[in-house]
Amino acid sequence: ILTNQITSFLLSANETSGKSSRSSPSPTSPGTRRSLKVVCSDFRKSVTFEKSSFTVNGNRTVSSSTINEKYKVGKVIGDGNFAVVKECVERSTGQEYALKIIDKARCCGKEHLIENEVAVLRRVRHPSIIQLIEVDETPTQLFLVMELVKGGDLFDAITSSTKYSERDASAMVFNLAGAIKYLHRMNIVHRDIKPENLLVCEYPDGTKSLKLGDFGLATVVEGPLYTVCGTPTYVAPEIIAETGYGLKVDIWAAGVITYILLCGFPPFRSENNIQEELFDQILRGKLEFPSPDWDTISLPAKMLISQMLQVNVDARFTAEEVLSHPWVTVRALRHVISSILSSNRTLTELCTNINLDDLRQGCPTPGLKGRCPAGFRCVIDPTQLILITKSPP
């Protein structure tokens, strides 16, 4: 079901800060959704490629390709409709990167998606967002040197693992919500958050984190948006309804991903793979946690997902509220501490066996007493979280 429903769709309406003025039928009317095209042009005026130079995270673009001089280009690690991604190594430092090579002729008519992506990536810098290192071009190709993430994308990870433990899922949601919070503070909405656009970082201790990429549909929110775009499984109801939408469509998509991480299938789906049926389910927003798949999933996880998948936009969580939810905060803290100090087995065991009921009473659990590693101390802060901090001299 998941695989069949993850085909991207790009539909159009006039994107303005007011109501859309269309002479054609509504894109949400039966039989019209698949025949429309995308209109996304918000960042285009801020970036040009023809014989221009600009700085990207401290690196300057050039007007002719020096990629082969500066980098040793390796094997293909991904491809798409008009681009291929290869491994590359910077000759002077030995640093590994990903090189996205875009065929200009093949992306004719979709230049705005590439321009959007470059323009947004030039503005952002966050540990949970793929970093753009350098831009280069020839008359026929555009080169994007980007941060290399070797764990593959989340879609492949989900299809191979089916579902994740709450520990791993909450850590991934923590990363995703952090990236969304950062973007939303800049009034940037991504509009295409889905597993294919999330790369998985794997660490030696077995823990995982996510990095968000593909900013082709991203835009600055200066008022209600009306362009219908995204991917069906993850699209928010207000996009389909064309009532105007904003930043919180990203939270809806993140809620769908959280649901999938924990059970292996999406919350809204059409058994017959009919897009109209899927959209009707999304508009109704009736959320279920069917047995037996959800029997062992904790109540806090279900409560968080319910708040992220509110049809009422005002009631839907913000990125900040997702990050402050106990299911994300407490589990993510354990995850971070365990990752940073994974060499200390006692602390790792401690962080994965905290009695939260005792914490809510404001006192350390018996297991905490005398079990902090040498050089560290354990305290409970006002938000009832365990902090592992360096002991004072």
Burial class (CB in 10 A: 0-12, 13-18, 19+), 244: middle
Question: How many CB atoms are located within 10 Å of the residue 173 CB?
Answer: 28
The answer to whether the bond into 237 is cis (omega within 30° of 0) is no
Q: 66 Cβ partners below 8 Å, 6+ apart?
A: 136
* Residue with tokens 């640093």, as numbered in its chain: 95
d(CA 240, CA 27): 8
Q: Per DSSP, what are the bridge partners of residue 146? A: 98, 132
* Residue of 192, 214, 250, 381 with catalytic role: 192
192 is a catalytic site residue? yes
Q: How far is CA 3 from the centre of its chain?
A: 18
Would you say 375 and 393 are in contact if contact means Cβ atoms under 8 Å apart? Answer: no
Residue spans of beta strands (DSSP E) within the chain: 9-10, 55-56, 59-60, 71-79, 83-90, 96-103, 132-137, 141-147, 188-189, 198-202, 208-212, 219-220, 229-230, 376-380, 386-390
Annotated binding site for ATP: 100
d(CA 335, CA 348): 9
Residue 81 CA to residue 8 CA, distance in Å, equals: 12
Angle at 375 between CA 369 and CA 378, to 5 degrees: 35
- Indicate the SS3 state at residue 146: strand
Which phi and psi angles does 33 have, rounded to 5°? -65, -35
List phi, psi (to 5°) of 44: -60, -35
Of 201, 183, 184, 57, the closest CA to residue 131 belongs to: 57
Q: Which residues are catalytic?
A: 192
